[in-house]
Structure 1
Amino acid sequence: MSRRLEPISVVAGGTARFDLPFTHTGTSPVTGAVLAVGSRHLAKTYRNCSTVGVHLVCTFGTRLEPGAVYGLSEPLAFRPPADSITGSRMGADVTWYTRTGYAAHPIFTPEPGATYVWLAEPPEPRWGTEPQLTLKRLVDPPPDPPETDDPWDEFEEGVDITVTDGRPADLAVSGARTTVTSGPSTVRVRLTNHGPGRLYPDLYTNNDPSLLVTFPGGTTATTDPEGCYRYADLRTLECDGETDFTIPVRVTRPEAGAGRVEIVDHRFDPLELDDPDRSNNSAGIVSG
């Protein structure tokens, strides 16, 4: 079962708070729960919560009674960096587990000293230092809290957070000219952010712009660099995940007219960032 909470807006450098109540609708008590939050830049750490990669993982020993509604002892607080770009978006994805269900999960570790099950060497968890985050039974629960099945192993929810009143970006691309009129060559294209707002691609889902590269007629890509994939016409590539790409090409005959590199939305998320000067969002590519 899953749901999305109401979207939240937060000023860059400010704090967004959200609670995560749920109902245990099973017929039997359940002892213990685990909360995994996929988010960075949470404002506080807790002694019963560890950071594993980009996730905060909290363990609770609370006995959950059938029909009862539970919430956190205090809302989780997300604090975006003060130099975030206006319009930056992130999704804080949240999963509640029973301790049994979480122990079988292949990514995280439920408690200190537990054994990891990873496909690669995992990062070491970093445990918080502030007083424990706890679960409390809500006497006056909010309307329509999410429900869990019996027996429930996991329940997913999340919240979308958008940064307001941040800093503008100045995204720019550099074009290129091949040095040959026939044969193999390379084309280098680059993405630069002149700020003052900063891109956080590991934090925000729309802070990873794509570059759409279209070569002049008579020029085709011969290899896809990492992070790029070719369209069927072989003259067009879309690249993301990096800011600098060197693309092997073959020039058969230089044709009149320049190619183009331009900043476009990431294929999974619209950009929608505050970038007042868009005159430098594209540049030419010339062969020969």
Structure 2
Amino acid sequence: MDARSNMTDTHTTDDDATTGPESADAPLHRRGIKSYVIRAGRTTQAQTRGLMDVWPRLGLNVADGRQDLDALFGRRAPRVVEIGFGMGNSLVEQAETHPDSDFIGIEVHAPGVGKLLDEADKRGLTNLRIYREDALAVLEQCLPEGSIDTLQLFFPDPWTKKKHHKRRIVQPAFVELVRSRLAPGGRFHLATDWEAYAEWMAEVLDAAPGFANTADAATAPYVPRPAFRPLTKFELRGEKLGHGVWDLIYRHDTAPHEAP
């Protein structure tokens, strides 16, 4: 995913001191504050085809309400949800490479949704569904508790300026919502090319109840880039510019822990 393809580029250094995440009891939704900015843009003929012709078959809406995922896909299989898939290249590749899993993508950027739908149709994929909605609304209103095996959040906007940190999607309330939707043993996989945001993610997840970091002691809190996460165009461009990338994978851990 390249989540920032539907967001403004905020890679700046002015006013970049890190402030802490919100408290765990902060409201999940702050009216008027979003973790994304929708860019204006024209759609290509292929993207329009995806939005018009393929959407009725693969598209989902929050108004559809709570989903029975077994009925939706016609089977019981591992379920992967990706938030902010950008132009969809990585998600399509995953769905094609792993036909025994089912995938749900969430994205607000119309050209990206159209491109993914067009490509999924051309490849004949049946294990993929798409929301063009706010991810928080989808998680809260559409996906049942304990229904997700993996939730992916790759390269969300880091909102680097201190005054914008409240816009970061990774906050304690969001993480608790993710935990409630993960099945026991399910994984929350995050990736970012902004080190300060990686540290923020680790701080939030390490403090969150019900999560265990899967990293080895030698690399903790980060894991080497897993082979199953396809390289995005955004990431390849960053590599050429010498940007680092930090992956974090946390497991929904319901096992009791001994007191220190």
Name the TM-score, length of structure 2 as normaliser: 0.25
| Higher Cα Rg, which structure | 1
Name the TM-score, length of structure 1 as normaliser: 0.24
Identify, as 1 or 2, the structure richer in helix.
2
Identify, as 1 or 2, the structure richer in strand.
1
